[in-house]
Structure 1
């Protein structure tokens, strides 16, 4: 596809040096020709970086992952024995999940599975004759188990946010409010972890069962405060679009002289004309504003400035989910069983996999005069 670069209004990257390099990066080169172009670091990537562990929690995570690898990956025989053991005792799950640092949801899911069968796994490790199994016995201490329960809960909340940010049709209008909402949730988490722990059910259940264990609220409070700071720092670049998003989502409720005036990203939009359009829109009976509203011919005719701003904002993708999913489709298509697949066929199959439209099979069939016949 030959798309002119001057029509590019924003670029979303995964933050690699090749894309964000100061001198030779892709963003730097593009901005030489398009100074007004916006550049974002993928929101999904940034939420993962915000939840990056360090110090004691990182050490605990490494121990947990080493335990999983010891049981599941280092010995096929030990892995088969574990699965048979979990099946015989009717455990909640019959296997552990392998941790992969690249996959976005893997950390929380692996921890949750490990916690669900922790007692069964401890019994299994006690029966192992390998000397390496003894290094995991120290994880059975109350302090480590309490911290692990906290990680299960907080990683679960981060996973919920991650799932909300994924999807083909998720633009910055959908994703940024979800991040802002999670930032507000962190304020509730900070108060809750020092009180009833309603948002930390795993940690609360463990502390209720272990009467001798006192809650280490200082460490957990510090972790959540640091998480708040990370979200505040990493998503500060999106603050300039907050009022513009509110304007596009509910223009009938926006003030003509609101804060959006100073945050207007498009120089081609006439502020005075847009203010008058907002005043005219308030006198109509329009209740819901959706994406299709800005694509209608009537909207372009009656509210040209608002329609231009709306179309611009709905084309801004703040995540690289579509690109990441395209790589996954390609890996599934280009398997070892398709070694003779040509480049043209791969492009066609990838386009079909990424496209959401349903082909008209009847028309395709009728356009062929003769099909393959048996010999």
Structure 2
């Protein structure tokens, strides 16, 4: 948005003049230089922000992105102070005799210091991250003594080295690093993989919750909400056609239990698996006593469908989690 406004600056100035709302800053050259620098710097920061987002990102990947950006800041500061806006395309299109270059260099230096302070905790654990991310190239003499022997054995294992090159870090530690042969290295890897690099997943969960829980869904209970969030956040893709066919088959082949005095089937046993906790099963519909033998049975509400799906997914999810080494 800021880049588009900068590209249309002349048109915006003409429009405001026609309306009698002229802004003198639009004709100020120094203000234009500042805007161009802000546009380029915002683009760089936005690109970094996009790279840091997403699921299944390990701490070593995010730390590498931060380190790389800090190196870029140092390079940009050096070039800007030498009046070379090579990596600032919008600023480069302006007059090269811009007297504000030294000021921009100072701004970049402040930003670089803020990055160093903000991510200082990561720098303290850089050695542990390096052991996890690059076990075959790490300096053995610079790592903790309790893990040195295992790292040496790993570095001189040609078969594991090839598997490390051919697979991701996560798959390498999960499938190829034996807990019995490398117990301390495996424990260290589990510790690094458990670190949350960002709050992206948590923020995504709250955003999806706001979509479901709104004023138009007043009948949505806490149990429904939990099951709905479980479905939308699961990485397992449900086979809807297969689930529906199984449900139809169960209803056709299994007689519905009846309650005394009425021909009303048990709502929980008819529509929900036995293994579901009682708290997550919605209450049966309230029906007035009647002697009409043709009275209709209340069907489940659409808001109950996520509970059925989540309960079916839960078995597969727990099975997959149980198969994981960590």
Question: Structure 1 segments of 4 or more deviating over 6 A?
Answer: none
1:36-83 residue CA offsets vs partner (Å, 9 max, x unmatched): xxxxxxxxxxxxxxxxxxxxxxxxxxxxxxxxxxxxxxxxxxxxxxxx
1:76-115 → structure 2 map (5 Å cutoff): 110-115=1-6
Stretches of structure 2 that go unaligned for 5 or more consecutive residues are: 253-298, 301-326
Alpha-carbon distance in structure 2 between the residues aligned to 1:127 and 1:354:
52
Please tell me whether residue 254 in structure 1 is matched to residue 138 in structure 2.
yes
User: Alignment RMSD, CA only?
Assistant: 2.2
Moved more, 345-354 or 154-163: 345-354
Does residue 1 of structure 2 align to residue 122 of structure 1? no
- Correspondence for 1:238: 122
Q: Report the equivalent of 1:152.
A: 39
Aligned to 1:324: 203
1:248-300, CA deviations, whole angstroms, 9 ceiling, x for partnerless residues?
11212223221x32xxxxxxxxx43x211111112212232611222237521
- CA distance in 2 between counterparts of 1:138 and 1:297 reads 62
| Corresponding residue number in structure 2 for 1:219 | 103
Mapped pair 1:293 → 2:180: no
Aligned-residue offset at 1:306: 0.6
Contact 1:207 1:215 in 2 (8 A): no
Specify the SS of the correspondent of 2:36. Answer: helix
Distance 1:195 1:338 in 2: 59
What 5-or-longer segments of structure 1 have no aligned partner? Answer: 1-109, 262-270
**Displacement after TM superposition at 1:363 (Å):** 4.3
The alpha carbon displacement at 1:336 in A equals 4.3
- Partner residue, 2:48: 161
* 1:1-375 to 2 correspondences below 5 Å: 110-129=1-20, 133-134=21-22, 136-193=23-80, 194-207=82-95, 214-258=98-142, 260-261=143-144, 271-272=145-146, 274-285=147-158, 286-287=161-162, 288=164, 290-296=169-175, 299-368=178-247, 369-370=250-251
> 1:267 is matched with which residue?
none
Secondary structure of residue in 1 paired with 2:179 = helix
1:101 is matched with: none
Q: 1:297 to 1:254 in 2, by over 3 A?
A: closer
Is the 2:140–2:151 Cα contact (8 Å) retained in structure 1? yes
Give 3-state SS (helix, strand or coil) of 2:148's partner.
Answer: helix
Work out the number of aligned pairs and report it.
Answer: 245
SS in 2 for 1:245: helix
Q: Look up the match of 1:8.
A: none
Contact 1:293 1:299 survives alignment (8 Å): no
Q: Is the 8 A contact 1:146 1:206 kept in 2?
A: yes
CA distance in structure 2 between the partners assigned to 1:362 and 1:302 by the alignment: 45
Larger radius of gyration: 2
Shift of 1:365: 2.3
Q: CA separation of 1:169/1:155 partners in 2, compared to 1, >3 Å: closer, same or farther?
A: same
Task: Tell me the TM-score normalised to structure 2 length.
Answer: 0.69
Instruction: For 1:297 and 1:216, locate their aligned partners in 2 and report how far apart those are by CA, in whole Å.
Output: 55
